[in-house]
Amino acid sequence: MKYFRLLPKTHIDIIGSRKIFFWISGLIMLACLFSVITKGLNFGIDFTGGTMVQVQFNNNINIDQVRTALSQKGIKADIQTFIGTNSFAVKVKGAQEDVNEVSVNIQEGLKNTGVDFTIEQIDFVGPAVGNDLAKKAFFAFTIAMLAMVIYIAFRFQSIVWGAMAVVALFHDVFLTIGVFSFFQLEVDLVIVAAFMTIAGFSINDTIVIFDRVRENAKLHPKWDIKELLNVSVNETLSRTVITSITVIGAAAILYFMGGKVLNNFSLAILIGLTSGMYTSVALVCSLVYQWTKNGKFSLSTEQNTSNHGYQEPALKSKKRNK
């Protein structure tokens, strides 16, 4: 059975061009770091705290009408709707001592809807819950990274493979953070969830390429590490591009048609997955090769003397026989 290939069979020298990729990624990471240091992150109400006004409208009204009415007053708010009711929770960042002033501004803005409403609750939402969840998310992210390093190191009999996979994964997440910092897009718990999603998807393509490396190491035990990595990346290139474009396309539809509530989340996914496609193809194997001191040792397969098959590929000092 023939399978569809988006790209023809390629012979791109990824490893030979690795220094170009290193410069590109290095400059991007420096730009992101500069933005985070100078501009910081625009944390949402989940992390900063603010005023929450819950209102009940007397007639049917949708969330876009509420958002437009508040925007006319110059109020940027997080709006939560309660399904099956005309109730909305409007949240605006601010200090606890500003609750009265902010709540009055929100009520003035809601009058622009032209629909009568009743105030059900006015309260200050503290950042404690958001900070606690953020700490737990960071802890879970760190544990997941360590688990990936250990698992990949076990599969490929070297910590280099796991460490480089996590470096590339960090590249994707930090690039997304840098973009959010540069444009001062709001970072809330939903965006933290997007970062976790990016990490999970990014490692997926990397593992596929690494598995192809293992397969080729069994089939071609005399190949040196450079040829092994180049061939494996080229063989999986079509699969990587098709998979990534499929998910990126879905995220793009979500960005343009999902409404303002999902804009930042879908944008984070778009940035992270696009970066993930680049790092899986161009960066991860280049990092592995560079870390192995320009290929002075390679994945090789020791054949059993009884010719009953191959053993698992192991990292050993062996150059390809000419």
Same domain, 179 and 117: no
Same domain, 165 and 189: yes
pTM for this model (two decimals): 0.80
Question: What radius of gyration, in Å, describes the C-alpha atoms of the chain?
Answer: 25
Residue with the bigger pLDDT between 176 and 305: it is 176
Same domain, 220 and 157: yes
Same domain, 138 and 71: no
CATH of the domain at 182: 1.20.1640.10
Confidence of residue 319 (pLDDT cuts 50, 70, 90): very low
Q: Are 210 and 235 in contact (CB under 8 A)?
A: no
Judge whether 213 lies within some domain: yes
Same domain, 140 and 182: yes
Instruction: Please tell me the total count of domains within the chain.
Output: 2
Judge whether 142 lies within some domain: yes
Same domain, 294 and 179: yes
**Mean pLDDT, rounded, of the chain:** 83
Of the candidates 125, 146, 164, which is a domain's last residue?
Answer: 125
pLDDT at 302 over 60: no
Q: Are 102 and 68 in contact (CB under 8 A)?
A: no
**What pLDDT, in 10s, does the model give residues 207-243?**
889 889 889 988 988 888 888 999 999 999 988 888 8
Same domain, 234 and 251: yes
Name the most confidently modeled range: 2-6, 183-187, 222-226.
183-187
Judge whether 102 lies within some domain: yes
Same domain, 112 and 149: no
Same domain, 212 and 75: no
Share of the chain above pLDDT 70, in %: 88
Q: Are 298 and 288 in contact (CB under 8 A)?
A: no
Read off the pLDDT of each residue in 43-62 and give the average, rounded to a whole number: 87
Q: Domain of 136?
A: 15-41+130-315
Of the candidates 125, 147, 169, which is a domain's last residue?
Answer: 125
**What pLDDT, in 10s, does the model give residues 189-211?**
889 889 888 988 888 888 889 88
pLDDT at 315 over 60: no
CATH of the domain at 113: 3.30.70.3400
Which among 156, 171, 141, 142 is positioned nearest to 288, based on CA atoms? 156
Same domain, 171 and 214: yes
For the record, the structure tokens of 85 come out as: 């009711």
